[in-house]
Amino acid sequence: MIFVTVGAQMPFDRMCRAVDDWARARGRNDVFAQIGSTAWRPSAIEYSELLTPPEFLAKVKACDVIVAHAGMGSILTALEHGKPILVMPRRGDLRETRNDHQIATAKRFLALEKVAVAFDETELAAKLDALSSLQAADRISPYASESLLAAVRDFVRGSRGERTR
């Protein structure tokens, strides 16, 4: 199953329409999308506007691949669960978000070889056609490392004027 998610903050009709068009053209019936609160409705794929956290986790566990906006929550969830992820960043110039932070996120995670990226609808369709070759990146822990926790503790203690050990 292909799980498409736009996150919990806003819809991303451009990406969802492209996936819906792709699924219709390819005769795919194995796509489920969480589309956000939007008036637009897919015609070729199953969908829900929003999912509860347990429903979302069930979709993540059941899917073979995640297709998502380039939100950190979606990317980290895929990495935590060992799922391949194809992201399409929202664009500020199209008023899909306030700025181009998702483009920067997508470029950085692409350079780290943690995600596949489609920067537009044409590229998304081509990458969807090649989903079977998409590999999951190494899994990450859902918890912060001890070294990170120690650095944060030291920083907080230092900012309060306390001596660090």
Place of tokens 């060992």: 82
Q: Where are the alpha helices (DSSP H) in the chain?
A: 13-26, 53-62, 72-81, 101-111, 121-129, 146-159
CA distance 48 to 29: 15
What value does the mean pLDDT of the chain take?
Answer: 94
Q: Write the pLDDT tens digit of every residue in 108-123.
A: 999 999 999 999 999 9
Instruction: Evaluate if residue 28 carries a pLDDT over 80.
Output: yes
Instruction: Evaluate if residue 160 carries a pLDDT over 80.
Output: no
Structure tokens at 125: 């369709």
Q: Write the pLDDT tens digit of every residue in 124-152.
A: 999 999 999 999 999 999 999 999 999 99
Instruction: Evaluate if residue 59 carries a pLDDT over 80.
Output: yes
Q: Write the pLDDT tens digit of every residue in 5-25.
A: 999 888 999 999 999 999 999
Q: Write the pLDDT tens digit of every residue in 34-53.
A: 999 999 999 999 999 999 99
Instruction: Evaluate if residue 153 carries a pLDDT over 70.
Output: yes
Structure tokens at 68: 């998502």
Instruction: Output DSSP code: residue 15.
Output: H
Structural domains in the chain, sorted by start: 2-140 (3.40.50.2000)
Instruction: Output DSSP code: residue 69.
Output: -
CA distance 85 to 74: 9
